[in-house]
Structure 1
Amino acid sequence: MDAAELRDLLSLEGLRLLDELPAWESSADVVRTVAGLRKAGHSPGVVAAVLSQSRLRARAVAKFGPFAERMLFTEAGLEQATRLSVAALHAGRFQRAGVSWVADLGCGIGADALALAALDIEVTAVERDEVTAAIASYNLAPWSNVRVEHGSAEDADLAGIGGVYLDPARRDGAKRLRDPADWSPSLDFAFGLGERLPTGVKLGPGIDRELIPVDAEAQWVSVDGDVVELGVWFGDVARPGIRRSALVVGTHGSAELSAADDSPDADTGALGEYLFEPDGAVIRARLIGDLARSLEGRMLDPSIAYITGDSPATTPFATAFRVLEDFPLDQRSLKRELAARGIGTLEIKKRGVDIDPAAFRTALAPKGEKSATLVLTRVGARRRALLVERVQPA
């Protein structure tokens, strides 16, 4: 979104039209809608801005629920914004630590600032992009305890501030993210604040683990099976004795697996009746060994994130499967086995083998009315194909 589109959107005409539009539907005839709005006398700029915003609001419901109906967004801002359920967990850390005034540096469209304000915490929200700062001002206007500033994180006045939250952006051209300077503000700046103030830093879950300070709490968060962030916490917003944690948020609510460090690997052993696929947050946090032991299970291979066991179990930290058949990983024989079972819809999972699941599914040419899941992996030194079925939670 550029400044001209923002002006059209924030005009009395634009905001009124946005509120009057029906909920966005992807199947709607956009050309007919545009023609109707133009015929009603609305300018091309206003129509484009309002329809774009209506589409973004519809997408934002997944992150913001009913709050999305009164918020404004940019494409990048919505993509990068913290889900409101996760932002509430961030805010809770500051509240429990007794922090009454937080600087949200790099606030984006205002998701984390909104969650902090809802807990009656004073917030100074700083955003360097002028358009995004204006959007944040609109979104945070209902909260009198929030002040939005247009400026850089590095230049923000932190006098009197009790805690800091940062969401550094990847610098243009940065790819591997192994250099602290690949972010803006830099990780040296962000982690430096953690040395003197209670601080939370939101990062992508795939960051090079060598960059995580040894004295910080690192929490990987997944929502509905998707690992969405790594939170690095310092000072009073970090929890004593915890350096690694996996927070899993889903229909079950939230559950956490935590430890003082990466967990030692579990023993390896033979394939059992059940297979467990750890949640991505557990894998990122390197807590697979602790999870395996809690399930009384073992690893198929020390380098592969699958756990096996002999007893059924349901856990929020892994998807459980019952092993129906154990086949050699051979394309021709698997094709015959699937055909004999009438399997036409096939989900393929793989770890520890160099196979393209989509191409492999095409080569198997499954036909029939039944569906199944096939896990391609190694059991010890053997390449195996495991026909499995999901164990439904009790």
Structure 2
Amino acid sequence: MGYAFSRADIAYLASPAGAAALAGAGDFALTPASLLKDLERIRRDHGDHAPALVETVRLRRRAAAKLEGAGEWLFTDDALQQATPSPVARHRARRLAGRTVHDVTCSIGAELTALADVCPGVIGSDLDDIRLAMAAHNIAARRNVLLVKADALVPCSTAEVVIADPARRADGRRTHDPAKLQPPLPDLLAAYTGRDLAVKCAPGLDFDKLGWEGEIEVVSLDGAVREACLWSPGLAEPGVTRRATVLSSTGAPWTLTDADPDDIPERGPGEWIIDPDGAVVRAGLVRHYAAKHGLWQLDPRIAYLTGDRVPEGVRGFRVLDRMEFREKPLRAELHRRDCGPLEILARGVDIDPDALRARLKPRGSQPHTLVVTRIGRAATVFLCATP
């Protein structure tokens, strides 16, 4: 849960004295091993402010990998966990450039900063006084952003676009039930019927059960699926209902939609196996990705792809051998090949990769990768070179 900040904490942390104290606290390691000793020393210098100082320094360190320019920001633990990574927020803001936007679940303001760069007017609202006070500090330099306290389920602005990010926890646990989000997704959609709306969702939601009439976009960043976003029909590209967007910290982004071709051949396994980006898989665009890159599926029901070449910038696994999935002959083959470090990928079969690795007991020096999957009714393993 993290430390429970008060309004007095925020006023202190945002003051010159608080800023100086935070700079001093930043010199401490604050690791699990040193935390008690460090807290004791900080408490000696700053009294009751010590817990807020320590929590803020630790949260800022975590935020550095997620939010750009947030070194002076204030957070709560939960707010930081839910905050949109900066590259993802910028991507969404680009789709809304030039419009007025109301973020009805603005929290500590991570989304607002990206919107403020490209939108003429931005409103942020929330019911949490602490998060609103933190947002006011975090976006103090943004003159085109207005903050208000308001219920996300009660429309209170005439902004051209409404965006929302319902909290994904219920009773302290992460939930994939739309009705248990906060605010509940069905209630949120009903509150803004007829409005241009963009709603962040967990990528694990069952999209087929949502009955969404606009576009569902699944976004990944550096190989990890980060979120899904529901775009209402007025914000969706005509003819597109599913989109996968792949963002990278080092390369150019790319996108794929269900309007792209999806005709692929039915052939046996090729020289390579490719595991598509998670955004492609979650968006249901595996065939579209395959068609774009001259690949085909190992099995129509499985997301692994195969082909005789690997798309540029993608990790592929070169097939060395194909076997029926039986552990005893597989163990013998791994031993024969002097297999040591062993990566195991599995899809369509009920296995625990860590438990399987322990049973196979690879003790050699050569790294290999196993791709365990189902082709038809048969469990099959591909022994591959590790890229």
> What do residues 299-327 of structure 1 show as CA deviations (whole Å, max 9, x unaligned)?
11121111111x212246x5322112222
Stretches of 4+ moved more than 6 A in 1?
A: none
Residue 70 of structure 1 aligns to a residue whose secondary structure is coil
Give structure 1 stretches of 5+ with no counterpart. Answer: none
Counterpart of 2:165, as a letter, is D
Mapped partners of 2:123, 2:349: distance in 1 = 49
Q: 2:309 aligns with which of 308, 312, 317?
A: 312
C-alpha contact 2:166 2:183 (8 A) present in aligned 1: yes
Aligned residues between the structures: 380
C-alpha contact 2:367 2:386 (8 A) present in aligned 1: no
Mapped partners of 1:344, 1:24: distance in 2 = 40
1:387 is aligned to 383
1:88 is aligned to 90
1:16 is aligned to 20
C-alpha contact 2:3 2:76 (8 A) present in aligned 1: no
Residue 253 of structure 1 aligns to a residue whose secondary structure is coil
2:36 is aligned to 31
Counterpart of 1:133, as a letter, is L
Mapped partners of 1:294, 1:305: distance in 2 = 15
Mapped partners of 1:365, 1:390: distance in 2 = 17
C-alpha contact 2:298 2:306 (8 A) present in aligned 1: yes
C-alpha contact 2:132 2:149 (8 A) present in aligned 1: yes
C-alpha contact 2:168 2:202 (8 A) present in aligned 1: no
Whether 2:318 is the aligned partner of 1:322: answer yes
1:283-322 equivalent positions in 2, closer than 5 A: 283-309=281-307, 311-315=308-312, 319-322=315-318
Counterpart of 2:55, as a letter, is S
Q: 1:36 to 1:170 in 2, by over 3 A?
A: closer
Residue 170 of structure 2 aligns to a residue whose secondary structure is coil
Instruction: Report % sequence identity.
Output: 34
TM-score (norm 1): 0.88
C-alpha contact 1:24 1:58 (8 A) present in aligned 2: no
Mapped partners of 2:83, 2:277: distance in 1 = 22
Counterpart of 1:33, as a letter, is D
Q: 1:254 to 1:26 in 2, by over 3 A?
A: farther
Shift of residue 389 of structure 1? 2.8
Mapped partners of 1:24, 1:85: distance in 2 = 30
Give structure 2 stretches of 5+ with no counterpart. Answer: none
Shift of residue 46 of structure 1? 1.3
1:148 is aligned to 147
Shift of residue 343 of structure 1? 2.0
Shift of residue 238 of structure 1? 1.9
1:1-394 equivalent positions in 2, closer than 5 A: 5-11=6-12, 12=15, 13-22=17-26, 25=29, 27=31, 29-39=34-44, 41-43=45-47, 45-65=48-68, 67-95=69-97, 98-99=98-99, 101-158=100-157, 160-170=158-168, 172-173=170-171, 177-178=176-177, 180-192=178-190, 195-250=193-248, 251-260=250-259, 266-309=264-307, 311-315=308-312, 319-390=315-386
Mapped partners of 2:30, 2:378: distance in 1 = 47
Shift of residue 156 of structure 1? 4.2
Q: 1:189 to 1:4 in 2, by over 3 A?
A: closer
Shift of residue 246 of structure 1? 0.4
Q: 1:57 to 1:211 in 2, by over 3 A?
A: same
Shift of residue 145 of structure 1? 1.3
Counterpart of 2:383, as a letter, is L
Shift of residue 78 of structure 1? 0.8
Q: 1:337 to 1:150 in 2, by over 3 A?
A: same
Counterpart of 2:144, as a letter, is N
Counterpart of 1:231, as a letter, is C
Shift of residue 23 of structure 1? 5.9
C-alpha contact 2:101 2:119 (8 A) present in aligned 1: no
Shift of residue 186 of structure 1? 2.9
Shift of residue 63 of structure 1? 1.1
